Amino acid sequence: MELKNHHTKIIQQLSQQLGFDFCGIAKAEILSDDAKRLERWLTKGFNGKMHYMENYFDLRINPSLLVPEAKSVITLLKNYFPSEQQKDDSPKISKYAFGRDYHKVIKEKLKEFLFLLQQNIGEINGRGFIDSAPVLERTWAVKSGLGWIGKNGNLINKRSGSFFFIATLIVDVELKYDDAFAKDYCGSCTKCIDACPTNAILPNKIIDGSKCISYFTIELKDDLLPNSMKEKFGNWVFGCDVCQDVCPWNRFSNPTKEIEFTPIPEILNFTNKEWHELNEETFNFLFKHSPLKRTKWKGIQRNLQFIMPDN
């Protein structure tokens, strides 16, 4: 028990040292309930054309298939709430994409985390994951006591809201485990459901991903967006933050201290005209380290034409 406590303290200290805002630890186990929920969600086609979500089903629910002899799942939250906002009349970009691509930023931190663990604890095997691997990170965050799943499907932390990236580190050592977060503080509030422009938020915390503005503007690779969604996107050209912006818990959000998430000046300052006149070469130069490169210049232009065809 003393060794577990000692190792756990080291992990908590390292998480702060590496700039993570919250750290929780859960026992590695098969997520049977989540397996059923995920299967139902996929069966209803809520993943749209995101076919990759159907892959590696077993890996998503069993951490031991990702890390042999997995004992513990460490969940880390990294705040990305920006200190500056876009102009009201600019094409809107989701706040998570204001700065450098979080995959690269957090992957580097997870790699260093594992290295420092091996230096401080000894022989330890593990893998770090950030969003791009088959890990049900929100479930692990709840099991680690870091918050609850809101009606909008996001993890909500009682102290700081929901503008967080969730990273996961699965390791083969036993640790002191946090109690799962047992309460739901959304109560009778339905602000996120009422505000969703495309009615993508369904009852019982189910999200129809195939209706989400983020899906259309980022994930969907079709040359044209569906006419049925015309005039529902508002000004959103990459992602959507509506359900988070209206959430009362995000009144507790504080600006991130991560310098890598400092907003790219063009994201804050470009006018409608400048976005429309942006050529592919300049786009690739300005946003080479940005999440915007996921949709590429062609995708941004498609989205601009969809929401502002007359500009």
pLDDT band at 263 (very low <50, low <70, confident <90, very high): very high
Q: What CA dihedral angle connects 166, 167, 172 and 178, to 10 degrees?
A: -30
Most confident of 1-10, 127-136, 179-188: 179-188
Q: How far apart are CA 141 and CA 74, in angstroms?
A: 9
**What per-residue confidence (pLDDT) applies to 261?**
98
For the chain, give the percent of residues with pLDDT over 70: 97
Q: Is the pLDDT of residue 253 over 90?
A: yes
Q: Is the pLDDT of residue 309 over 80?
A: no
CB atoms within 10 A of CB 89: 9
Report how many domains make up the chain: 1
Q: Per residue in 190-234, pLDDT tens?
A: 999 999 999 999 998 999 999 999 999 999 999 999 999 989 999
Sign of CA dihedral 79, 253, 217, 298: negative
**What per-residue confidence (pLDDT) applies to 214?**
97
Q: Per residue in 125-173, pLDDT tens?
A: 999 999 866 788 999 999 999 999 999 999 999 999 999 999 999 999 9
Known catalytic residues? 131
pTM score: 0.94
pLDDT band at 177 (very low <50, low <70, confident <90, very high): very high
In three-state secondary structure terms, 281 is: helix
pLDDT band at 310 (very low <50, low <70, confident <90, very high): low
Mean pLDDT score, 56-73: 89
The DSSP letter of residue 157 is B
Q: How far apart are CA 210 and CA 220, in angstroms?
A: 9
Enclosing domain of residue 289: 1-311
Who wins on pLDDT, 52 or 207? 207
